[in-house]
Amino acid sequence: MSHFQPLRTRTSFCARRSSSRGSVLAWPLAGLLLLSAGMSVSACSSRDEKQDDERPGQSLDGVIFGDDAEDDERPGFNGEVCAGQSAGAELAPAVLQLLVDTSGSMDQPAPGGGSKWTVTRSAMLDAIDGMPSGTSLGLVFYPNLPNDDDGPCFDQRTAVALDSLADAGSQQRQRLRNAFQRQNPQGGTPTHDAYQYALAQLSGSNVAGSRFVVLITDGTPTYSLGCVGTGLVTDPVDPSPLIPNAASALATGTRTFVIGSPGSEGARASLSRMAEAGGTARPGCSHDGPNYCHFDMTRETDLQAGLTRALEAITGVALSCRYEVPQIRDGVALDPGKVNVLFTPPGGEQELIPRSDQAGCSEGWQYSQNSTQIELCSSTCERIRSSNGGLTLEFGCATQVR
């Protein structure tokens, strides 16, 4: 059942107050991977006032986010006075840390042809080619070492450091392509050590944007944290400690996508829980299957096609469902408790999308950790991306919470 709440009032929700004029910010949804777009701005007035003719960007009179707003008995927004100033906005950039399993088992045949490694490499490079220039991307392979009883289980080294992809043919894009071409499968599966290393690379980076780890693995870990284990496929270790790690990462602003390639059948429940803890659970998923919360490739008859679909879904969520909260000019600060998100489907009624306080939410929206971005929850994101409707951000009225 949908959690969207239809609004039975007029499209513009401005208070009946002569000194305050409301503004809304429209976000057209033109595609999955648009990271920077011009946002249309319009002014609105109450039912009893004439439409204001000031141009977007002009300073408007009246208190915008102050405490002296007059009451208004409009349903749904508790009488709060809407914003009195226009401002532009941009979709938020994304920062993705790719964490790719290159253990020896990735050399095995893949459903549909090729090896699991060659198929993964091809799908990843195609996905990177389609990412916008504003995306920042880094790459870590693991284990990046052969099995050695006397040595470490994971080479703590970044294949490509986090940096902006920039335009086609850029140095960063070429570095990523070269790294994939040079890599060969070998060694065990120290997923826990590798995941912690990838998170550390993200936390240590000054690159701005919403942060994600994209983990691709083809099996149950063969080493626990600290390289405890034999590294043998026949001697796997407990993967469940990765789940609280993903939850901790989410609490600090990093979401984790998980792709389980063929060979990960024994880890499906844990990978599903890791995706849920990491804030990327798929709508209607179950840890008991068949629709797991992570991207499960174990039943794909064509791994190339399955990975392509999974990566398209991941980039669609990571690159299109986060929006910068506009900066209000003239020294007036935005009150984060007075922001509402509205969705208008094609030919339908405008609907209020309530804010969610649930970790790893599926419906609604949330603020980023520092309240500088609005992030649509997973099911809400997919619904809106698949439509030709539009989002509207409105300031000055008390935020509605689920």
41-55: string of b/e by CB count within 10 Å (b at 16+)?
A: bbbbbbeeeeebeee
User: How do 254-260 and 136-142 pair as beta strands?
Assistant: unpaired
pLDDT attached to residue 228: 93
Q: Are 61 and 84 in contact (CB under 8 A)?
A: yes
* Residue 124 token pair: 């990843």
Residue ranges of domains in the chain: 94-320, 326-336+349-387
Q: Look up residue 254 and give its two tokens.
A: 């990093």
Which pLDDT score, from 0 to 100, does residue 323 have?
A: 78
Exposed/middle/buried for 169, CB within 10 Å: 0-12, 13-18, 19+?
exposed
| pLDDT reported for residue 147 | 78
pLDDT along the chain (402 residues), means of 10: 39 32 38 31 35 31 31 41 40 87 96 97 96 92 83 89 94 97 94 97 88 95 94 92 96 94 95 95 92 96 96 82 68 77 84 87 84 82 74 81 86
Across 381-398, b (16+ Cβ under 10 Å) vs e yields bbbbbeeebbbbbbbbbb
- 167 forms beta bridges with none
* pLDDT, position 20: 33
Nearest to 271 by CA among 193, 210, 194, 191: 191
CA distance 96 to 211: 6
Q: Which CATH superfamily is domain 94-320 in?
A: von Willebrand factor, type A domain (3.40.50.410)
Half-sphere exposure (Cβ direction) of 309: Cα atoms closer than 13 Å: 10
Task: Measure the CA–CA gap between 206 and 211, rounded to whole angstroms.
Answer: 11
The tokens describing 31, both together, are: 């595609």
Q: How far apart are CA 219 and CA 101, in angstroms?
A: 9
Side by side, which strands form the sheet with 160-164? 160-164, 136-142, 94-101, 210-217, 254-260, 295-296
Tokens describing residue 137: 């991307």
DSSP β-bridge partners for residue 351: 6, 343
C-beta of residue 44 within 8 angstroms of C-beta of residue 62:
no
Q: With beta carbons less than 8 A apart as the criterion, state whether 14 and 22 touch.
A: yes
Residues paired with residue 216 on neighbouring β-strands, in sequence order: 100, 259
Q: How far apart are CA 276 and CA 282, in angstroms?
A: 8
Q: How many residues does the chain have?
A: 402
